[in-house]
Structure 1
Amino acid sequence: MEKKKIVSIEDRIPKLKQARKKKANRRLIFYLSIFFLLISIIVYLQSPLSNVKTVAVTGNSFISDEAIVEKSNITNKTNIWTINETDIKKRLHKNPTIKSVEITKKLPRTVEIHLSEYDRVGYINVDGAFHPILGNGQVLTSIKEKSINGDAPLLMDFSDKANLRKMTSELNKLPDSILNMISEIHWKPTDEDKNKIMLYMNDGYLVDGTIRDFATKMKVYPSIVAQLNPDKKGIIHIGVGAYFESFDKETKEEGTNDETED
């Protein structure tokens, strides 16, 4: 039998010491790395390196980027880690055009503010200037335009603010494809119907209707027009039932399958 090699304790001790020394060195390096990392983080947080450098604003059309940034109170002296998103949202929501706000921090030094605004559903003419009207009924008196570009109808004679809000609420429910067909909306109240309105359409027709359930009833407009002779213009009534009345009084056609429920 082969004899086992016997290693004396004296020979093993240097190797054990060397192994323990390496293990201690690795542990020391690990703790030093953690220490310097923490120091670096503290220095970064306390230095201008963590201050906001860029504020990017998106989704705004009624308010300028500069006005949004100013309202947010974010400056190049603001530490990106001290930004209170809740406070910024509350300040921005005070503007009637803003529906929602999202704030995103992008390290190292960028803050993004994304806005969702209420849709423009119409215009109102005051002293020769056109003011946009939003879907929440807010009239932007601070914005004065010399003309309108056809992206929303002009609302006429809406002297009653309650009816104006009801009208804009209905317009806000319309798809853009139908909203863009409307040129003007005139409020024409009668003793029988305080909500009566008359619409002037871009395709030459008039629409006689009411504010109540207007959006629901107006959605049948394209299907009614599709059944009419394009050479004959007239009034499309969308009250209890939907029917067409020619301007020359020669034609009065019942709208097939176009009746709307009250």
Structure 2
Amino acid sequence: MPFVLLFVSKKAVSELKKGKVVVLEERVPKLKQRRRQKVNRRLTAYIVFFFMLILCIIYFQSPLSNVRHIDVKGNQHVSVQQIVQASGLTNRTSFWRVKTDQVKQAIESLPEIKEVTVKKQFPNTIVLYIKERTRVAYIEEKQLFFPILDNGKILTKNKPKVALSDAPILVNWKDGEKIQEIAGQLAHLPSYILNAISEIHHTPTKYDPYHVTVYMNDGFEVSATVPNFAEKMRLYPEIVKQLNPDVKGVIHLEVSNYFKAYKGDDNEKSKGE
């Protein structure tokens, strides 16, 4: 039998003695164990993914994915029912199929709605943030009050039987063009001045077909004209500060600005811009 000589260096022998060299037979079980663990992890990942896919399919095909809550915020005059009905959303609408642009456009078709923001909140809530158009006045006809919006549009539906205190009442206004003009002027007034006005009477004169007589909530009367109504009425708070609150009268704001007390109220008259 032939002999095979195996030459081992002194360095290798030294490392074997020190335990630095790992014998291949010792590593094989560990490699098999690691490979088995890797396969198990991959199999577990596939199983989890499969079940997640099944759950997603069940969710999207079941009523669980439908809209359950519709929250309407910011509306004052338009009811929640009207807004939801205009949106086209129901509890049969899929949450994931809601197109916010279409919902926004549908609600903004209502005459009193100026702007809408649509937010989707997972898992099944739709929030509608409403910004209504300002009611700048009311027109009384046959004991009914027709609201006028800041764009000049007169609402003929859902008219209240009692005028609200958020806008003045227009009296003796027959010409639609003049109504549009006064509505445009009122739309440029800040709310604190608009709310201070009780009634606006159309009182045309021989020289001014746009003349108006305004009755304020504080008891004063204002004589003005439509073309510069908003500009002049902005001066009203400063003018009233200079007057005696116990002496009522007419504040003239046509060309020059001055105050004339009613007869019997000391006949006071003051002038000033």
TM-score between both structures, scaled by the size of structure 1: 0.90
- Look up the match of 1:253: 270
The reply on whether 1:53 has 2:68 as its aligned counterpart is yes
The reply on whether 1:4 has 2:18 as its aligned counterpart is yes
User: How far, CA to CA, are the matches of 2:209 and 2:49 in structure 1?
Assistant: 75
- Look up the match of 1:126: 141
The C-alpha deviation readout for 1:1-45, integer Å capped at 9, x for no partner, is: 672324321111111111122122222222332332233222211
The reply on whether 1:62 has 2:62 as its aligned counterpart is no
DSSP-derived class of the 2:146 partner: strand
What RMSD, in angstroms, separates the aligned Cα atoms of the two structures? Answer: 1.9
DSSP-derived class of the 2:96 partner: helix
The reply on whether 1:209 has 2:224 as its aligned counterpart is yes
Matched AA of 2:270:
E
User: How far, CA to CA, are the matches of 1:192 and 1:94 in structure 2?
Assistant: 42
User: How far, CA to CA, are the matches of 1:9 and 1:215 in structure 2?
Assistant: 97
The C-alpha deviation readout for 1:45-79, integer Å capped at 9, x for no partner, is: 12111011122222223322222222222111110
The reply on whether 1:32 has 2:47 as its aligned counterpart is yes
The reply on whether 1:183 has 2:198 as its aligned counterpart is yes
Alpha-carbon deviation of 1:82? 0.5
Asked which structure has the greater CA Rg, the reply is 2
DSSP-derived class of the 1:70 partner: helix
Q: How many residues align?
A: 256
The 10-residue stretch of structure 1 (121-130 or 170-179) with the greater mean CA deviation from structure 2 = 170-179
- Look up the match of 2:8: none
1:63-212 paired onto structure 2 within 5 Å: 63-212=78-227
> Is there any run of 5+ residues in structure 1 with no aligned partner, and where?
none
- Look up the match of 2:5: none
Alpha-carbon deviation of 1:205? 1.5
Percent of counterpart pairs with the same letter?
Answer: 45
User: How far, CA to CA, are the matches of 1:41 and 1:213 in structure 2?
Assistant: 63
Q: Is the 8 A contact 1:184 1:201 kept in 2?
A: yes
The 10-residue stretch of structure 1 (34-43 or 80-89) with the greater mean CA deviation from structure 2 = 34-43
Q: Is the 8 A contact 1:132 1:143 kept in 2?
A: no
> Is there any run of 5+ residues in structure 2 with no aligned partner, and where?
1-13
User: How far, CA to CA, are the matches of 2:219 and 2:238 in structure 1?
Assistant: 16
Alpha-carbon deviation of 1:149? 4.0
User: How far, CA to CA, are the matches of 1:194 and 1:83 in structure 2?
Assistant: 53
The C-alpha deviation readout for 1:103-151, integer Å capped at 9, x for no partner, is: 1112212212221101122111011111222212122221232322433
Alpha-carbon deviation of 1:101? 0.9
List structure 1 runs of 4+ shifted beyond 6 angstroms. none
User: How far, CA to CA, are the matches of 1:192 and 1:58 in structure 2?
Assistant: 48
The C-alpha deviation readout for 1:198-236, integer Å capped at 9, x for no partner, is: 101122211111112322211111111111122322111
Residues 31 and 213 of structure 1: CA distance in aligned 2, closer, same or farther (over 3 Å):
farther
Q: Is the 8 A contact 1:53 1:76 kept in 2?
A: yes
User: How far, CA to CA, are the matches of 2:37 and 2:185 in structure 1?
Assistant: 78
User: How far, CA to CA, are the matches of 1:67 and 1:120 in structure 2?
Assistant: 18
The C-alpha deviation readout for 1:141-163, integer Å capped at 9, x for no partner, is: 21232322433211112212222
